[in-house]
Amino acid sequence: MAYLFTSESVSEGHPDKVADQISDALLDHFLAFDPESKVACETLVTTGQVVLAGEVKSNTYLDVQTIARDVINAIGYTKGAYQFSGNSCGVISLIHEQSQDINQGVDRSSKEEQGAGDQGMMFGYATKETANYMPLALEISHSILKELAKLRREGTEIDYLRPDSKSQVTIEYSDDNVPQRIVAIVVSTQHDEFDADEAMLQKIKKDIIEILIPRVKKQLPAYVQELFNDDITYHINPTGKFVIGGPHGDTGLTGRKIIVDTYGGKGAHGGGAFSGKDPSKVDRSAAYASRHIAKNLVAAGVADELLVQVSYAIGVVEPTSILVNTYGTSKVDKTDGEIAQIASKIFDMRPAAIESRLKLRNPIYLETAAYGHMGRIPQTVTKIFESPYNGKVEKEVDLFTWEKLDYVDEVRKVFGL
């Protein structure tokens, strides 16, 4: 019997994502001026206020207020009517130095012997369902909100949009796990108050269905476009008007959208958040490395769908375990346990090796903090950082290195594909 699967996404203006972006902007600035910085920054945003907290060990000093305000303004919170604006909000910093008890388990005389920054398990997942090896429902959910943000910034076809929004997509699958059709799409978007409630809601629904969705559909591959149909159930701002939103409507915290950040409920999640954490925290770096393994194995033809789990003990160099689950889709004459053993020889999962292989000690993290950390396009960009204490630094960095298919040839050679 056919089954349904649903994934959601949230926009860059969602309160939790505002917090994530501020935390990662702080991390990027620390790494730009001191690549060996150890950072764990948490952010809380609410009506007219930003609270920064966490632990940092770094040789640099930052104007954290200006960094937070710049992020908020870039997202689009620039008006007093939002009750949260980069130019007027208060910014309180409670950031302090990292505990030496933690640091002694991470820093070693030899970089290669760097211990894991914490215990825990991390997961990476990949599927042939989409061109970028991500779950389809999540990809469409992200696409809806990216395009909605473009419409907001353009301000021409739809001129009443505010930064906070959410989306959700439900897809029907056949018994053999093939997408059949889109069943439901949910879009909730913050907006100006521009008419009487009923007329306003009717216009918003009409614009989302007739302007946004066609723009999204046009960008998708032909096989995905075919899943759109006249029977889709649309829930557009289903609770009614959504004028009060953003951090004024709902307090935001770093690390509360970990499923949106990863695979939309497919595969698994170890529970650790990413944003605000430097790569010595395996919550982040090992999750990226696990995705890198899973994507390269699937792209090489080892399996159609694959999950990688890795686990660590705090201060210990080698992982405590590595697991591979191919969900019965393996294309090689190996057990999942044998695939895991081979993968562990191809991909060095020691924390320092992950940092080096994926170039993680660079200021590359703000770009990850909205619309998902996985499934993004690897690219090289030049970033400029300015500080009243450190001057100006310009860095060329590689973004989303864990999405590169740079091990496919080696995987094929080892597995005889």
In order, the DSSP letters of 205-267 are: HHHIIIIIHHHHHHHS-HHHHTT--TTPEEEESTTS---S-HHHHS-EETT--HHHHTTTTSS
409 marked among binding-site residues: no
241 marked among binding-site residues: yes
397: amino acid identity, one letter: V
At residue 383, what are phi and psi to the nearest 5 degrees?
-120, 140
Q: 16: left (phi > 0), else alpha (psi -120 to 50), else beta?
A: alpha
Query: Of 152, 136, 402, 141, nearest to 260 (Cα)?
Result: 141
Instruction: Spell out the SS3 assignment of 139-188.
Output: HHHHHHHHHHHHHHHHCCCCCCEEEEEEEEEEEEECCCCCEEEEEEEEEE
162 marked among binding-site residues: no
Residues in the chain: 417
345 marked among binding-site residues: no
277 marked among binding-site residues: yes
Q: Return d(Cα 276, Cα 273) in angstroms, integer.
A: 9
290 marked among binding-site residues: no
295 marked among binding-site residues: no
Q: Is 395 helix (H, G, I), strand (E, B) or coil?
A: strand
DSSP state of 71: H
Instruction: Take residue 140 and report the two structure tokens written for it.
Output: 């469409």
166 marked among binding-site residues: yes
98 marked among binding-site residues: yes
Q: Is residue 254 a contact partner of residue 272, using CB atoms and an 8 Å limit? A: no
256 marked among binding-site residues: yes
79 marked among binding-site residues: no
55 marked among binding-site residues: yes
Q: Is residue 42 a contact partner of residue 253, using CB atoms and an 8 Å limit? A: yes
29 marked among binding-site residues: no
164 marked among binding-site residues: yes
Q: Return d(Cα 372, Cα 134) in angstroms, integer.
A: 11
Q: How far is CA 140 from the centre of its chain?
A: 15
User: Which residues participate in the annotated binding site for Mg(2+)?
Assistant: 16
Indicate the annotated binding residues: 14, 16, 42, 55, 98, 164-166, 241-242, 250, 256-257, 273, 277, 281
Binding-site residues for ATP, please? Answer: 14, 164-166, 241-242, 250, 256-257, 273, 277
Summarize the annotated binding site for L-methionine as residue ranges.
55, 98, 250, 281
Binding-site positions for K(+): 42
